[in-house]
């Protein structure tokens, strides 16, 4: 063996019959992992999202994109305030739990900001936001948030690649 990897290459047009292949191609892009939280009349609710991005420094804007088919879609698109939490490498279990149960939090798991938005302790960063705009984006919407307050700490990020959680390994 010469040490090179054999790699199958595919070329296709995205459509209903190639949806899995399209999703797999998107999965080649490593992303950070976030949990978005908001308050509802029934208590705090959360959703995992890797569709988070910075949008503008002036004014300070970020965006994320919930799926229209999600049972959590309504509370997040109706929320006037929400928080986006960038997760640390040791928060993979929390991320998996929230993906399964939007209300998995127990007493003491969360604090609240001055607008009643639930905040997760231990995240690498919190972006406390007011909803600025919502734009259509196919089977998702793009939620733009105006960042009102940020909290950050040092640590290693939780990453998502090819359907799996992982950590960043710096080269020597």
DSSP string, 40-73: ETTEEEEEEES--EEEETTTTEEEE--BTTSTTH
Tokens 């960038």 correspond to 86
Helix (H) or strand (E) holding 35: strand 34-40
State the pLDDT at residue 2. Answer: 46
pLDDT digits (tens, 9 = 90+) for 34-57: 999 999 999 999 999 989 999 999
What share of the chain in percent tops pLDDT 70?
92
In the chain, where the domains are located: 31-161
- The tokens of 82 are what? 């929400």
pTM for the predicted model, two decimal places:
0.85
pLDDT above 70: residue 6: no
* CATH code at 31-161: 2.30.110.10
pLDDT digits (tens, 9 = 90+) for 118-147: 999 889 999 999 999 999 999 999 999 999
Higher pLDDT: 121 or 7? It is 121
pLDDT digits (tens, 9 = 90+) for 88-121: 999 988 888 888 888 877 767 789 999 999 999 8
Beta bridge partners of 131: 145
Are the C-beta atoms of residues 32 and 99 closer than 8 Å to each other? no
CA distance 92 to 158: 7
């Amino acid at each position: 063996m010469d040490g090179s990897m054999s790699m199958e290459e595919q070329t296709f047009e995205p459509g209903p019959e190639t949806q899995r292949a399209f999703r797999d191609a998107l999965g080649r892009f490593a992303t950070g992992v976030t949990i978005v939280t908001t308050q509802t009349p029934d208590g705090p609710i959360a959703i995992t999202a890797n569709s988070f991005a910075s949008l503008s420094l002036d004014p300070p804007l970020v965006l994320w994109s919930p799926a229209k088919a999600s049972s959590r879609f309504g509370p997040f698109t109706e929320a006037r305030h929400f928080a986006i939490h960038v997760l640390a490498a040791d928060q993979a279990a929390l991320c998996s739990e929230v993906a399964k149960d939007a209300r998995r939090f127990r007493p003491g798991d969360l604090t609240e900001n001055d607008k009643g938005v639930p905040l997760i302790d231990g995240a690498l960063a919190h972006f406390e936001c007011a909803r600025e705009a919502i734009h259509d984006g196919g089977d998702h919407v793009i939620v733009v948030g105006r960042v009102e307050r940020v909290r950050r700490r040092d640590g290693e990020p939780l990453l998502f690649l090819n359907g799996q959680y992982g950590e960043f390994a710096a080269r020597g």
